[in-house]
Structure 1
Amino acid sequence: MPSPTLAIFLVIVGTLCSIILIRRASQSHNKHVQKLPPGPWPLPVIGSLHMLTTLPHRGLQKLAKKYGPIMSLRLGNVLTVVVSSPEAAELFLKTNDSVFASRPKLQATEYMWYGTKGMAFKAYGSYWRSVRKLCTLHLLSSSKIVSFAELRKEDIRSMMEGLKRAAVAREVVDISKLVGEVIANISCRIILGKVRNDIDGLTGLVGEALALGGAVNIADYVPYLAQFDLQGYTRRMKRVSVNMNKMLEKIIIEHEQEAILLLNEQEEEHGMHKGFVDVLLSLMNQPMNPQDEKFHIIDRTDIKAILLDMISASFDTSATAIEWTLSELLRNPRVMETLQGELESVIGMDQMVEEKDIGMLEYLDLVVKESFRLHPVGPLLIPHESMQDITIKGYHIPKKSRIIVNTWAIGRDPKVWSEDVEEFYPERFVGSNNIDMKGRDFRLLPFGSGRRGCPGMQLGLVNVQLVLAQMLHCFNWELPYGTNAEDLDMLEKFGLSMGRANHLLSKPTYRLLF
């Protein structure tokens, strides 16, 4: 909602902006009138920004109930199309994927993601294709993910030992903090080659960047107001950018120095794992994709941007998914008992879960799907942008329109999931093997779909499923004294990823026989 200060500025610039909008409307009318998707009537200057609320996915869901699954809003100067049904999502992310494969420019990505030189926020084109290919080949391929198994095992075992000590002492555990740490450790070892002593600082910067990246920033929609920084976001983004650049520069310098020390020696002799950052540094000053006639030479800024993409994507998303799943299991003891029964039957009570066991845990797969349905990590997929004019379902979608897919609304639509849509009921997925979270069934899109679908999906799922399986197999969990399951706080914190507003606390009891 606009603040009083913002309202004053809106009045000051309202006349000027209205004149500009009228002139644009007149020019558009002179071509010929096109039918836009239905939507609310916009206010001068701000359009429908005031309708988004502090949790935009919920505000947009309410509007979609009135205006339909393909809805248009004038957000400041930006025509935004909101997609809120599986059928509509398929039209935008599959049928017409080539038209909507680009990204809009946002102030957050310009400041904090090195002018979109990474992958997640880059406009569609040869550079984006080259970065995606590079990341997939050297970090996100199936063979690479399998090769990281021992690293995951070490960090998860360390977490289990800490939990055993907490169980003996009958301590309440901050699950949000614990899970965040183990995922950050795993990600650091894979991407940076080792766990860092300053990981808390890096995690804090990533959290701030994701929060700012998902914020409704007036400057993105009414550029004339950007200079006033009415919400204070620009100052915060600049501060994060400076501190993040220092952190990434420090990481790169350390690895450059280590590379010199290890020249002509075997990393294994030093107990070190070669991380993704080392691969990127070995490619510096070389063509990113020599086969592309517009090939780009990898420089230091590219490396920082790519690292930031990989770090921010891996740190928060898996931890958030685990956090929400455990929250729902604590609220639904029947589901937890069923899942632990499967673990006891498949794994046995005399050993821990191994990564090779995950494929045999069918009920775990159902639980994770149900958690993603109710609590998608990204409730609104990263915005797409149309690269040309197009007509969909009789509606005109102009070039440069911003496209928002509300996966949160799709997951809670009773027309899609039946009337018990608010209930955590994993069995709804029984017999629905085609809903595999890979973006091929548009009822469930936790990783997006099409060209801009998340290339780290497989790595993310392995982390989520393995940590959950291990925590639930090794321990029983109960809420702290005085907290009832039905009263457990489930408030959300909106950003590029949507975590819990408050940390999840629980008390473990060791349940294995060794």
Structure 2
Amino acid sequence: MAYLGSHPNQSNGEADGKDFINYQVIIVTLSVITLTITTYVFLSKRSKKGDLLPLPPGPRGLPLVGNLPFLKPDLHTHFSELSQIYGPIFKLQLGTKKCVVVSSSSLAKEILKDNDATFANHNPPIAALVITYGGNDILWNTHGPNWRMMRKVLVREMMSNTSLDVCYDLRRQEIQKMLREVYSKNGTPIDIGDLIFVTMLDMLMNMLWGGAIKREEKTRIGVEFRKMIGELVVLLGKTNVSDIFPILARFDLQGIERKAKEVFLWADTILDTVINERLKMKAMHSEKKPSKDDLGSKDFLEILLELNKKEGDGKETLSMTQLKALLLDIVTAGTDTTTTTLEWAFAEIMQNPYIMRKAQEELGEGVGMSNTVKESHISKLPYLNAVVKETQRLHPVLPLLVPHCPSQSCTIGQFTIPKGSNVFLNIWKIHRDPEAWKDPLEFLPERFLGDSNEYDYKGNNFNYLPFGSGRRICAGIPLAERVSTYMLASLLHSFEWKLPENVELDLSEEFGLVLKKRTPLLIIPTPRLSNVELFYN
């Protein structure tokens, strides 16, 4: 690498050129000193007037690139180390982007509650803009009327208790299908993460557009979605030079934008296929009078298409772009996050065998050995619910959440947070704070067996924020809460699990937008339920 200020060796005959270069260096140095003094005086005067508090402390960086060369790959642990030096709030300069990292619950509260409206936006990277139809989804959309409308539709039509109860049978069928798959592999190692991912994807597709595609097409579309989601998560987790130096964006030096466009075209084609099939089905049955059995049986896609057909003066109308962005949000977020949580849960259970015994004792009492688990059992399984919550504490799926972006400069913790900066909340660090958690590095589900409201998922306890808080809290909490415990309970109740012989459990993390296990978890099932028919109901 050629560093600034370096130059080739010069011969004696190049003295005049050398003098000229030295003269340039002197001029540049004096200019920098003058600019620095002027800036310092200007800021000092403003500080005296009380107009501007200082920026947070932070490590020094290099010209142009700032702190970028010094970042370590695992940002959640790297930021935790820096917080030990610079405190619970510090700044980094990454190219042209100013970043602020917050690592305490009290400061998280200032951002997500006290100044919620100011921090209600996210700053989408280029890959996200490409994938989400220009940021037209719920995750990256600018906080405003369109975002509120889309979130309202999702919460009311899919995430309400009534809507989730209506489609319970779809979830039950997929869980039963999963149990049959595991039973068929009795005694052989199973990639538990892969199994859960496939089950979640099939479950969500059935809930979203159930009968919109033919049975033989479901497998193909499921395989394509799995590959697409894997590519998407990788792209969103990569550091993109084009995001850090927007002036270089048109060159797409790492090819991230190009790859994102490939994934986008792939996903858009699948969604178009599903939507067109549904529209053909509706056209064929348009003259058929609906029966009583049809009432209340609409899937989410049909509801969205009805909103898409409303006239412009309706209270809620969805463009086709918004419709597809919303569907893509649900499929990608719902599969990868739940899969990651449950794979970590199984890893911790393998590490702590007493947890499996205790959970299975609870299941034996609450469900019974002559039954399979139903969603109605979940409320009667406090210990298993505690296992899921402890997993989300020790292994938060989004360790830094999605960076918030203040719409105006504001004060947090007696420091100025500049407008437009990226604000990372290190939830991984907050969840391991020894002042808030006893033995924070230990996996102890018992810590969640007290008041269930003290550590719920609503984002009111800022020591525990697995789904965030405030306006941008995860909209899919009701589904995630049901499905995570339901799936874990079903697998633990129906099977014993163990590691293959001579295999050492790996609990190392792989940082990205989603915090995954570095190596897939392979474990061996053995049926617990003696009645074989229970696996084939």
TM-score normalized by structure 1?
0.89
Residue 258 (structure 1) aligned with residue 275 (structure 2): no
- Structure 1: distance between partners of 2:321 and 2:203: 24
One-letter amino acid of the counterpart of residue 281, structure 1? L
| Structure 1 counterpart of 2:400, one-letter code | L
Q: What's the CA shift string for 1:484-508, capped at 9, x where partnerless? A: xxx3112333332222232211111
Q: Quick check: 1:64 aligned with 2:87?
A: no
Partner of 2:135: 116
Match of 2:94 in 1: 75
Describe how 1:380-459 pairs up with structure 2 within 5 A: 380-418=400-438, 420-433=439-452, 434-459=454-479
Q: How far, CA to CA, are the matches of 2:40 and 2:272 in structure 1?
A: 48
Q: Is 1:284 paired with 2:308? A: yes
Contact 1:378 1:497 in 2 (8 A): yes
Question: Which residue of structure 1 aligns with residue 16 of structure 2?
Answer: none
Equivalent residue, structure 1, for 2:512: 495
Q: Secondary structure at the match of 2:193?
A: helix
Cα 1:493–1:226 change in 2 (3 A) is: same
- In the other structure, the counterpart of 1:316 is 336
Query: Where does residue 159 of structure 2 map in the other structure?
Result: 140
Q: What's the secondary structure of 2:346's corresponding residue?
A: helix
Cα offset for 1:375? 0.8
Kept in 1, the 8 Å contact 2:107–2:413? The answer is no
2:318 to 298, 319, 331: 298
Deviation string, structure 1 residues 365-396 (Cα, Å, up to 9, x no partner): 11111100111111111111101121122111
- 1:219 to 1:267, Cα distance in 2 relative to 1, 3 A: farther
Deviation (angstroms), 1:286: 2.8
Distance, in Å, in 2 between the alignment partners of 1:288 and 1:131 is 15
Contact 1:193–1:273 (8 Å) recurs in 2:
no
Superposition map of 1:47-446 within 5 A: 47-167=66-186, 170-194=187-211, 196-197=218-219, 198-265=221-288, 266=290, 274-286=298-310, 290-291=314-315, 297-418=317-438, 420-433=439-452, 434-446=454-466
User: What SS does the aligned partner of 1:319 have?
Assistant: helix
- Once the two structures are TM-superposed, the CA of residue 25 in structure 1 deviates from its matched residue by 11
Instruction: Name the Cα RMSD after superposition.
Output: 2.9
Separation in 1, partners of 2:196, 2:37: 51
Q: Percent identity?
A: 35
Distance 1:242 1:344, change over 3 A: same
- CA deviation profile, 1:99-147 (whole Å, cap 9, x unmatched): 1111113212211111111111111111111111111111111211121
Deviations 1:204-247 (A, max 9, x none): 11221122123222221221232333333122112112222222
- Contact 1:108 1:212 (C-alpha < 8 Å) held by counterparts: yes
Per the alignment, residue 535 of structure 2 pairs with none
What amino acid does structure 2 have at the position aligned with 1:478?
K
Contact 1:156-1:182 at 8 Å conserved across structures: yes
Q: Give the corresponding residue for 2:502.
A: 482
CA contact (8 A) 1:385 1:401 kept: yes
Structure 1: which 5+ residue stretches go unaligned?
Answer: none
State whether residues 107 and 412 of structure 2, in contact with CA within 8 Å, keep that contact through their aligned partners in structure 1.
Answer: no
CA distance in 2, matches of 1:364, 1:11: 62
In 1, Cα distance between equivalents of 2:521 and 2:435: 31
Tell me the TM-score normalized by structure 2.
Answer: 0.86
Match of 1:510 among 512, 515, 527: 527
Contact 2:383 2:449 (C-alpha < 8 Å) held by counterparts: no
**Structure 1 contact 327–504 (Cα < 8 Å) conserved:** yes
> Helix, strand or coil for the counterpart of 1:166?
coil
Superposition deviation, residue 148 in structure 1: 1.8
Unaligned runs of 5+ in 2: 8-24, 48-52, 532-537
Shift of 1:157: 0.6
Structure-2 change in CA distance of 1:417 and 1:298 (3 Å): same
Please state whether the residue corresponding to 2:455 is helix, strand or coil. coil
SS at match of 2:243: helix
Contact 1:86 1:410 in 2 (8 A): yes
- For residues 463 and 10 of structure 1, what CA distance do their matches in structure 2 show? 58
| Shift, 1:332, TM fit | 0.7
> Are the counterparts in 1 of residues 495 and 529 from structure 2 also a CA contact under 8 Å?
yes
1:27: Cα distance to partner? 7.2
Give the CA deviation at 1:444: 1.4
Secondary structure of 1:403's aligned partner = strand
For residue 366 of structure 1, what is the amino acid of its counterpart? A
For residues 60-109 of structure 1, what are the alpha-carbon distances to aligned partners after superposition, in whole Å with 9 as ceiling and x for unaligned?
11111211112211122122111111111111111111111111132122
Shift of 1:452: 0.2
Deviations 1:183-203 (A, max 9, x none): 111111111225722211112
Shifted more, 183-192 versus 491-500: the winner is: 491-500
Aligned-partner residue type, residue 317 of structure 1: T
More deviation, 122-131/489-498: 489-498
Kindly state the Cα deviation for residue 289 of structure 1 after the two structures are TM-superposed.
8.3
Contact 2:350/2:498 (8 A) holds in 1: yes
Aligned residues: 494
* Deviation readout 1:316-374 (Å, 9 max, x if unpaired): 11111111101110111011111111111211111111111100101011111110011
Which amino acid in structure 2 is aligned with residue 306 of structure 1? Answer: L
Query: Residue deviations 1:397-441, cap 9 Å, x none?
Result: 1221221111111122223223x3222111122324301122111
Distance 1:244 1:344, change over 3 A: same
